[in-house]
Amino acid sequence: MKRSEINAAIEEARGAFARHGWSLPPNPRWDVTDFGLGDFARVGLTLVNLAEQPEYCEKVMYVRHGQLTPRHYHAFKKEDIICRWGRLAIELPSVRAVRLQVNGEARDIPAGAPLLLSAGERITLTSGVMHAFWADSGYAIVGEVSTANDDAHDNQFEDQRVGRFAAVEEDAPACVKLVSD
Overall domain count for the chain = 1
Query: How do strand 56-64 and strand 139-147 relate by DSSP bridges?
Result: antiparallel
Neighbouring CB atoms inside 10 A of 55's CB total 6
Q: Is residue 172 part of a domain?
A: no
CATH of the domain at 39: 2.60.120.10
pLDDT in tens, 9-52: 999 999 999 999 999 999 999 999 999 999 999 999 999 999 99
pLDDT at residue 158, as a whole number:
86
pLDDT in tens, 129-167: 999 999 999 999 999 999 998 888 888 888 887 877 888
Q: Is residue 177 part of a domain?
A: no
Domain that holds residue 54: 3-157
Q: What is the mean pLDDT of residues 103-107?
A: 97
Report CA-CA distances (Å) from 69 to 65, 100, 104, 170: 11, 20, 24, 24
Residues of the chain with pLDDT > 90: what percent? 81
Q: Is residue 169 part of a domain?
A: no
Instruction: Please state the φ and ψ torsions of residue 109, each to the nearest 5 degrees.
Output: -95, 120
Tell me the pLDDT of the chain averaged across its residues: 94
> What dihedral do alpha carbons 61, 65, 69, 70 form, nearest 10°?
170
CA atoms within 13 A on the CB side of 15: 8
pLDDT at residue 53, as a whole number:
93
Query: How do strand 87-91 and strand 131-135 relate by DSSP bridges?
Result: antiparallel
DSSP string, 98-138: EEEEETTEEEEEPTTSPEEEETT-EEEE-TT--EEEEESSS
The confidence band for 96, taking pLDDT boundaries of 50, 70 and 90, is confident
Residues of the chain with pLDDT > 70: what percent? 100
Q: Is residue 181 part of a domain?
A: no
Q: Is residue 96 part of a domain?
A: yes
Give yes or no for residue 126 having a pLDDT over 90: yes
